[in-house]
Structure 1
Amino acid sequence: MNIVRKDVDAINTTIGIQVSKSDYAEKVEKQLKEYRKKANIPGFRPGMVPLGLIKKMYGKAILAEEINKIISDSLMNYIKENDLNILGEPLPNETDQKPINFDTDEEFEFLFDLALAPEFEINLNKKDKIKYYDIIVNDEMVDNQIKSYTSRFGKYETVDTVEEKDMLKGELIELNTNKTPKTDGIRVEDAVMAADRMTKAQKELFVNAKKGDTIIFNPQKAFNNEVEISSLMKISKEEAKELKSNFSFTIQNITRYVESAIDQSLFDKVLGEGKVTTKAEFRAKVAEGIKESYVSDSEYKFALDAKEVILKKMKDVEFPEAFLKRWVLSTNDNLTPETLDKEFPIMLDDLKWYLVKNKLSKQYECKVEKDDINAYAKKIAKMQFAQYGMNNVPDDILENYAQESLKKEDAVKNMIERIIEEKVLDKVKESIKLETKEISYQDFNKMFEEK
């Protein structure tokens, strides 16, 4: 076997692999004998089929399979041994490759095109300026977050007088026009209605009513929705659509959701027992939590801006674009050349950033340790719990969730990539002139709307 490399330019090369009979003959012969042992051909006992017949039937396929293995292993080994930093995957050469005939040829040559990552340098210094947006937490944000907590940790209470948002339980009876119960009419015991789902005029009939009162109302006017009516009356939607009668509703129970008071009980539920004891301390902790939740937004914006600054430094670096487009099309059956042309600039920028990130991680000696991965997994778990308002999850529970996520290989690989990127961006902050700017959350979001 002989492997020849022919560089087209600094970023494109062709690898030629020449395979002689001595490279594959023994392996093909071995496979033919294995086929012979297993072949089940009418007229022959198992293992007694003539080798010549096996060769005639399967020889070409076995030859192609064995040569393909040799070519694949040889190409990958060559890339590894020569430390070639390739982009994408090798593709069969389309210009100089000679036809292959497995029926007649004994010597074969296969040509492959490879794209090489370009050589480049990234030098960052204090002349490079990048803004870091520090999102301001104001009193309104704190008030809204506390309002969310008081609502989340409230409770249902039985009350005596109806207000707009109360739940009502009682008996529904269909009425005649003279307001007497309709014979064989609809009667629903333990019917449950939400006052705030009614239209304004019908809702006013119930507001300020008391337990035991009987209210006459019209369901069609109250809900104007056959789905709601059919559910309430336990009838079909078609029947609900035709229902015109008034009904009496005798209030048996009134339930109201009462928000939590802003007291020690709420402090403990939100932050953990005894963490704060005054409203001022509680507000400060809530503000701190909001601030912490915005850090990821600020970091995301910094990452975008840092990438933009760094990628500008690569504007003169040449990439094997023709090969990359060909490779992308070969691995995406549903992608058209026209669509690729539109999407390719973004793909190329993503590739450039990937190469930059790897180069800077080596330059800055960024290493990912086991403790880094565990800490990152716990951070993700903490953020997931926080989305549901659970801010004081015990450390052992976070640890369990983190360890479960670390059992997934793809999840760990993704975490490692994210950790490397974070470490690289932290080093970038140290290398450039970081200009911190305070900004409202509204103005921060506008920067994304403008783009």
Structure 2
Amino acid sequence: MKSTLNKTDEVNGTIVIELEKADYQENVDKSLNQFRQRANIPGFRQGKVPKSLIQKLYGKAVKADEINKIVTDEVGNFIRDNKLKILGEPLPDNSDEKLVDLENDEILKFYFDVALTPEFDLPLDKSVELTCHKVLLEENLLDEQMDAYKKNYGTYLSVEDEAKDTDLIKGTLTELSDSEDKDNLQVIENAILMPSYIKDEEIKSSFTGSKAGDKVVFNPKKAYDNNEAEIASLLQTTKDKVKNIDSDFSLEIKEVTRYQEAEMNQELFDRVLGEGVVTTEEEFRTRIKSELEKQFKPNADHLFIHEARDIIVEKMKEVKFPDEFLKRWLLETGENRTSEQVEDDYPKILEDLKFHIAKQKIAEENNISVEFADIEALAAEVAKAQFAQYGMTNLPADVLQNYTKSMLEKEETVQNLYDKATEDKIIDWLKENVTVIEKEISSKEFNDLMNERTRLQEEN
């Protein structure tokens, strides 16, 4: 077997695979023998079918299949062994003059067109200026976050006051009946309701202003406008068991509890950030502000790398690419893609390709690599950020570890994390090697900037 690369120019070439009979005949004979062992043909015992009949029935198909396997493997091996940097995938040359006659050609020649990654210089030094946005959180947004923590970490406390519609009223709920059958009447010892959820205004008002020791008689069906789910919740049963309940109930109020926001004290600091991390309100505000501003970093890096992308693509404007091959490859591998669509989409695809190989070049020339430890660390950061969006900044270590582990069990997630980790390292390299212009910006202005970029991307 002989394999060669014939370059037509610096970015186009053809891999030629030459096979002689000795390269494939052993594999063909082995496969035909396996067919013979398995063949179930009338008139012959299994495994005793004549070789000549097996050859006649399956010879051509088996030969074609084995040759295809050998050629496919050899193309991949040739690319790997010769460290060829190709774009897309090899495409077979099926022109008439390159067709192979498996039965009559003594030497079988197979031709595969390939696109070669262009060689180019990419000067990225201090002469290149890139903007890095530093997002500053407005004080009113920080105040809103402080209020949110006080609300989220508050608790219900017993009060002696008259009940408000947002209080929780607890007591014993007893079914009432005028009939003599009192054996099956329901009694819910620890019933709980909040007046604000009651639909009927008259019944709602009978609870508003009540207090411990009072008894309120009402009809749950009327109170909740026949909503079976809410009635079932009150009666601590299932929806199917409340369909025929139309009795009045008496609630003997045992306790009224009111939600009290958490105080801005050490207990709140510890619950949000962990025990002893901060000890004063000023330290708490500073730490939370810093954590919230960190949440803007991924988007700030997104703007940074996209500005770098624009500059890199411009620097590669004169770099020659195998355009015709790439269009052919897009057409042949794209499901339901037309020639017109390829022509329309190609300029944008080419820009993406330029940036992709530029990142590869930066990584290779500067020994930038991603280890699994990097992926694990990034997964933990992503998990923390996801929980932080809901104000959950002090997760137990085992919860975070288990969530991160579940992320890393998904192959697609791992690949996305690998790509992100690689890009993060390239961003770090760029920040060290180009001139970075730091621009302070409010979170509102930054969000407006991100929304505008998203709009422009959607339009394009």
Fold shared by both chains (TM-score > 0.5) = yes
1:327 alignment partner in structure 2: 329
Tell me the SS of whatever aligns to 1:260.
coil
In the alignment, is residue 356 of structure 1 matched against residue 358 of structure 2? yes
Rounded Cα–Cα distance in structure 2 between residues aligned with 1:419 and 1:402? 15
Report the number of matched residues: 444
Which amino acid is 1:437 matched to? K
Tell me the SS of whatever aligns to 2:308.
helix
2:131 alignment partner in structure 1: 131
In the alignment, is residue 33 of structure 1 matched against residue 44 of structure 2? no
2:45 alignment partner in structure 1: 45
1:210 alignment partner in structure 2: 211
Q: Is the 8 A contact 1:220 1:229 kept in 2?
A: no
Rounded Cα–Cα distance in structure 1 between residues aligned with 2:295 and 2:213? 49
| 1:214-254 alpha-carbon deviations (Å, 9 max, x no partner) | 56889899766856666568878xx89xx9x9998765654
Rounded Cα–Cα distance in structure 2 between residues aligned with 1:340 and 1:173? 73
The answer to which of 154-163 and 434-443 deviates more is 154-163
Q: Is the 8 A contact 2:221 2:231 kept in 1?
A: no
Rounded Cα–Cα distance in structure 2 between residues aligned with 1:167 and 1:88? 65
In the alignment, is residue 154 of structure 1 matched against residue 154 of structure 2? yes
Q: CA 1:441–1:97 in 2, change beyond 3 Å: closer, same or farther?
A: farther
| 1:73-100 alpha-carbon deviations (Å, 9 max, x no partner) | 2212222233221111112224455444
Rounded Cα–Cα distance in structure 2 between residues aligned with 1:181 and 1:346? 79
Rounded Cα–Cα distance in structure 2 between residues aligned with 1:221 and 1:335? 60
Rounded Cα–Cα distance in structure 2 between residues aligned with 1:376 and 1:70? 41
2:23 alignment partner in structure 1: 23
Rounded Cα–Cα distance in structure 2 between residues aligned with 1:214 and 1:97? 98
2:426 alignment partner in structure 1: 424
Q: Is the 8 A contact 1:163 1:208 kept in 2?
A: yes
Q: Is the 8 A contact 1:126 1:431 kept in 2?
A: yes
Tell me the SS of whatever aligns to 1:164.
coil
Q: CA 1:34–1:199 in 2, change beyond 3 Å: closer, same or farther?
A: closer
Which amino acid is 1:130 matched to? L
Q: CA 1:257–1:327 in 2, change beyond 3 Å: closer, same or farther?
A: farther
Tell me the SS of whatever aligns to 1:318.
coil
Cα deviation for residue 310 of structure 1 reads 1.7
| 1:46-68 alpha-carbon deviations (Å, 9 max, x no partner) | 32211001111211121011101
Q: CA 1:145–1:76 in 2, change beyond 3 Å: closer, same or farther?
A: same
The answer to which of 353-362 and 15-24 deviates more is 15-24
Q: Is the 8 A contact 1:213 1:250 kept in 2?
A: yes
Q: CA 1:324–1:267 in 2, change beyond 3 Å: closer, same or farther?
A: same
Cα deviation for residue 127 of structure 1 reads 3.3
Rounded Cα–Cα distance in structure 1 between residues aligned with 2:13 and 2:136? 53
Which amino acid is 2:211 matched to? K
Cα deviation for residue 104 of structure 1 reads 5.3
Q: CA 1:363–1:378 in 2, change beyond 3 Å: closer, same or farther?
A: same
Q: CA 1:444–1:192 in 2, change beyond 3 Å: closer, same or farther?
A: same
| 1:112-157 alpha-carbon deviations (Å, 9 max, x no partner) | 2212222222112333222111111232222222223223322233
Q: Is the 8 A contact 2:228 2:239 kept in 1?
A: no
Q: CA 1:322–1:103 in 2, change beyond 3 Å: closer, same or farther?
A: same
Following superposition of structure 1 onto structure 2, how do residues 298-317 of structure 1 map, counting pairs within 5 Å? 298-317=300-319
Which amino acid is 2:270 matched to? D
Tell me the SS of whatever aligns to 2:70.
helix
Which amino acid is 1:149 matched to? Y
The answer to which of 196-205 and 155-164 deviates more is 196-205
| 1:182-238 alpha-carbon deviations (Å, 9 max, x no partner) | 999xx97656544334569555554333245456889899766856666568878xx
2:382 to 377, 380, 383: 380
Rounded Cα–Cα distance in structure 1 between residues aligned with 2:301 and 2:310? 14
Which amino acid is 1:293 matched to? Q
Q: Is the 8 A contact 1:216 1:248 kept in 2?
A: yes
Following superposition of structure 1 onto structure 2, how do residues 81-160 of structure 1 map, counting pairs within 5 Å? 81-96=81-96, 98-102=98-102, 107-160=107-160
| Seq. identity, % | 39
Q: CA 1:320–1:157 in 2, change beyond 3 Å: closer, same or farther?
A: farther
Rounded Cα–Cα distance in structure 1 between residues aligned with 2:45 and 2:349? 58
2:286 to 265, 284, 287: 284
Q: CA 1:354–1:248 in 2, change beyond 3 Å: closer, same or farther?
A: same
Cα deviation for residue 10 of structure 1 reads 2.9
- Name the Cα RMSD after superposition: 3.9
Cα deviation for residue 284 of structure 1 reads 1.7
1:163 alignment partner in structure 2: 164
Which amino acid is 1:110 matched to? F
Tell me the SS of whatever aligns to 2:296.
helix
Tell me the SS of whatever aligns to 2:112.
strand
1:177 alignment partner in structure 2: none
Cα deviation for residue 275 of structure 1 reads 1.9
Q: CA 1:440–1:207 in 2, change beyond 3 Å: closer, same or farther?
A: farther
Q: Is the 8 A contact 1:97 1:111 kept in 2?
A: no
Gaps of 5+ in 2: 456-460
The answer to which of 96-105 and 109-118 deviates more is 96-105
Tell me the SS of whatever aligns to 1:84.
coil
Q: CA 1:72–1:265 in 2, change beyond 3 Å: closer, same or farther?
A: same
Tell me the SS of whatever aligns to 1:439.
strand
| 1:297-355 alpha-carbon deviations (Å, 9 max, x no partner) | 32222122222222222233333344334333444435555655555444433322221
Q: CA 1:34–1:246 in 2, change beyond 3 Å: closer, same or farther?
A: closer
Rounded Cα–Cα distance in structure 1 between residues aligned with 2:341 and 2:165? 54
Q: Is the 8 A contact 2:135 2:296 kept in 1?
A: yes
Cα deviation for residue 446 of structure 1 reads 0.8
Following superposition of structure 1 onto structure 2, how do residues 386-401 of structure 1 map, counting pairs within 5 Å? 386-393=388-395
Tell me the SS of whatever aligns to 1:7.
strand
Rounded Cα–Cα distance in structure 2 between residues aligned with 1:140 and 1:18? 73
The answer to which of 328-337 and 84-93 deviates more is 328-337
